Structure 1
Amino acid sequence: MKIAQIAPLAERVPPKLYGGTERIVSYLTEELVRQGHDVTLFASGDSLTKAKLVPCSEVALRLNAAVSDPIPHLAAMIEEVRRHAQEFDVLHFHIEFLHFPLIRDFADRTVTTLHGRLDLPDLQPFYRAFPEIPVVSISNDQRQPMPPVNWRGTVYHGLDENVLPFTEKPHSGYLAFLGRISPEKGADRAIEIADRVGMRLKIAAKVDTQDKCYWQTVIEPMVASHPNVEYMGEIDEREKADFLGNAAAMLFPIDWPEPFGLVMIESMACGTPVLAFRCGSAPEVIDDGVSGILVDTMPEAIEKLEAVLSLDRRKVRGAFERRFTAERMTQDYLEIYRNLPGVCRQAAAAHAPEEESIALKVAW
């Protein structure tokens, strides 16, 4: 198949540091290429891929100090995609909803994976206005706030099996917190859990501009007042393998409807069990008692941490290999692609001359 992947421009594909959506786009794109498909990636110009790259910005927008508003750059990318739309069997968008008004003429050959939270009230009127656009969720829980739309499936994220190697015996006994510093991600809860159980906590996370006040007024003072807590900032993929692989457990103390939670399966890939609060997608991602343990309250988290630490790391890795590989994710998306109405019509049209020729031969 000739497939276009349309990535966000905030980070390169794959991202140098933080960037869950761009990371997933990379794993999907490279696996599609590996399986023999003709793939074109619309992304920032510093992206790294075996697909054909169409650069839609010079570098990732977050790294470009001259960029203050990403919308014009995204709009220009969408126009570039629209001009080349007829060259592809399938166009797969990962940029939420900005493109919806411009793809109606070929929407039946598109799918849009919704990577973000969908419970914001302002989204409701927009999705009601575009009920026909094919969309994919990254967890079943993510769908709950949505009006009726054209769901084509739920596809859980997947990782390259080799990117985060299994660590059977971590050489350090710390707890890990990975991701982003924001109220809903629960870094404050992670610090309290580590303090209550008397364990070290390492925090590897970025601080977005909108969360700087929260960092300065809440988390930074907590880090400063707890000698067992170390803040490491953002880390890259190589550092992540060591950071997660040598952790005794990963804390995922969220307080919001998490659409997926990529850090959970990254931890599982390393064999590191997860203590997760039962919010959003966590019950779909964590095999409770196998790859981690789900809790509802802080007292329960503190009580259950010992059980998390005793989980078999080989079984944690096994849960990842069964459910969350890039190959499985790619097969799920290919099935969705093949069942899109526009793709089905193309396939039927391609077979029609052959069938007509056979019928004429038989009649003759």
Structure 2
Amino acid sequence: MRPLRICLIASSRFPIREPFAGGLEAHTHALARQLHARGHEVSVFAAPGSDPSLGVVELPVETFEPAEGERHDTGVTPDSWLNEHHAYLGLMLDLARTGHERFDVVHNNSLHHLPIAMSPALRVPMFTTLHTPPVPWLASAVAYADPGSTFVAVSRFTAQEWSPSVACLTIHNGIDVEAWSPGPGGGPAVWSGRLVPEKAPHLAIDAARRAGMPLTLAGPSLDRGYFAREIEPRLGGDVEYVGHLTHEQLRVTLGAASVAVVTPVWDEPYGLVAAEALACGTPVAAFARGALPEFVDDSVGALARPDDVDDLARAMRLAVTRDRATVRRVAEERCSIAHMVDRYEELYLTGRERVAA
């Protein structure tokens, strides 16, 4: 296919660079890099400071500064909400005016409602990837989406969750399985991700101790109250928090681990941290929630009953017995970003041809 001009809409809060704020930013970075490597012209709308090595065009993110007197009403929404609203409104109005002259497709990879709600104003096909189960602000926007918009869910579970509101294709998230290369294993168990209540790393600590395994925690601490209340008192001895790591540091840590522990207490739409561990050859022990059972099974790890710490300890002891070469091979088959980008390219081409017709 000939190169496409792609507008990739991401978060206006977070730049697309390491260390990533979360899985959505890591996913957007990998997608942009792969599309650029395939010869496409990629423009990314994200917070200023995205990784210059991506070779992408950074679209401006405008902020809103209220004038004197505009904040006097106590019911006014917070500045962070106003800034996001202003940024996405400016982007969508700009795309409505000239987007069809500059882009062949628009891929909405954000969690904001305006790109979906304003899609009827565009004269270029829009594709929206749904990274979360239905949330009110996105579900309400879907009702106003352009009938020609295409929605993609990151898992079959997420597609099913959205099915009352919108029909979705399923394209599983992918990771760069070359960058996430296998390691020797044999070291402490690892928990990675955002240290927030819905990810429940404190349950991973409890399970690791019941399983008799040392544990390393890695990731950004975004909820100081939760960290002080649930994590800090559990640290020490056989449990270490190593902070927010770069991808290379995390690859080494995961590759050295005997097992990766994934402990969502909400329904994970996908579970990028599990895919990263598998690509490093490290088996996964996880709560059977959300989309995790779609790619974590007995060949690559073990699942536990949701929220059951004792059962998770059992799953950890079982997962370490899995063959690491098999885990790596299955990750290549199930979690490859090359396959994911192939699917998106097919969608882009179909959308462009539909508009041309």
TM-score (normalised: structure 1): 0.83
Pairwise CA RMSD: 2.4
Q: Is the 8 A contact 1:139 1:154 kept in 2?
A: yes
Q: Is the 8 A contact 1:131 1:148 kept in 2?
A: no
Q: Deviations over 1:252-304 (max 9, x none)?
A: 02111111111011101111110011100101121x11122111133222223
1:293 to 302, 306, 311: 302
Corresponding position: 1:161 with 2:177: yes
| TM-fit CA distance, 1:135 | 1.5
Give the whole-Å Cα distance in 1 for the aligned partners of 2:234 and 2:170: 38
Q: Look up the equivalent residue of 1:55 and give its one-letter code.
A: L
Q: Is the 8 A contact 1:107 1:134 kept in 2?
A: no
- Counterparts of residues 36-75 of structure 1 (less than 5 Å): 36-48=39-51, 49-57=53-61, 68-69=80-81, 70-71=83-84, 72-75=86-89
User: Structure 2 stretches of 5 or more lacking a match?
Assistant: 64-78
- Counterparts of residues 164-175 of structure 1 (less than 5 Å): 164-167=180-183, 169-170=184-185, 173-175=187-189
SS in 1 for 2:31: helix
2:248 to 233, 238, 245: 238
* Residue equivalent to 1:267: 277
1:199 to 210, 213, 216: 213
Give the whole-Å Cα distance in 2 for the aligned partners of 1:84 and 1:51: 22
Q: Look up the equivalent residue of 1:146 and give its one-letter code.
A: W
SS in 2 for 1:234: coil
Q: Look up the equivalent residue of 1:109 and give its one-letter code.
A: P
Q: Is the 8 A contact 2:117 2:144 kept in 1?
A: no
* Residue equivalent to 1:190: 204
* Residue equivalent to 2:233: 221
With 98-107 and 174-183 compared, the bigger mean Cα shift is at 98-107
| TM-fit CA distance, 1:149 | 4.2
Give the whole-Å Cα distance in 1 for the aligned partners of 2:131 and 2:11: 11
Give the whole-Å Cα distance in 2 for the aligned partners of 1:134 and 1:242: 38
Q: Is the 8 A contact 1:136 1:152 kept in 2?
A: yes
1:20 to 23, 29, 54: 23
Q: Is the 8 A contact 2:259 2:320 kept in 1?
A: yes
| TM-fit CA distance, 1:121 | 5.0
2:115 to 99, 107, 110: 99
User: Structure 1 stretches of 5 or more lacking a match?
Assistant: 60-66, 349-364
Q: Is the 8 A contact 1:43 1:54 kept in 2?
A: yes
Q: Look up the equivalent residue of 1:137 and give its one-letter code.
A: A
1:310 to 301, 321, 324: 321
| TM-fit CA distance, 1:134 | 2.4
| TM-fit CA distance, 1:308 | 0.4
SS in 1 for 2:216: strand
* Residue equivalent to 1:109: 125
Q: 1:94 to 1:160 in 2, by over 3 A?
A: same
Give the whole-Å Cα distance in 1 for the aligned partners of 2:126 and 2:62: 26
Q: Deviations over 1:44-77 (max 9, x none)?
A: 3321244441332499xxxxxxx84541333333
Q: Is the 8 A contact 1:140 1:154 kept in 2?
A: yes
Q: 1:231 to 1:52 in 2, by over 3 A?
A: closer
* Residue equivalent to 1:137: 153
* Residue equivalent to 1:33: 36
TM-score (normalised: structure 2): 0.84
Give the whole-Å Cα distance in 2 for the aligned partners of 1:178 and 1:36: 33
Identity %: 28
Q: Deviations over 1:109-142 (max 9, x none)?
A: 0101122332x45654443343734211111111
Q: Is the 8 A contact 2:50 2:58 kept in 1?
A: no
SS in 2 for 1:4: strand
SS in 2 for 1:244: helix
| TM-fit CA distance, 1:315 | 1.0
Q: 1:14 to 1:200 in 2, by over 3 A?
A: same
Q: 1:17 to 1:47 in 2, by over 3 A?
A: same
How many residue pairs were aligned?
331
| TM-fit CA distance, 1:196 | 0.8
Give the whole-Å Cα distance in 2 for the aligned partners of 1:263 and 1:176: 11
Q: Is the 8 A contact 1:128 1:148 kept in 2?
A: no
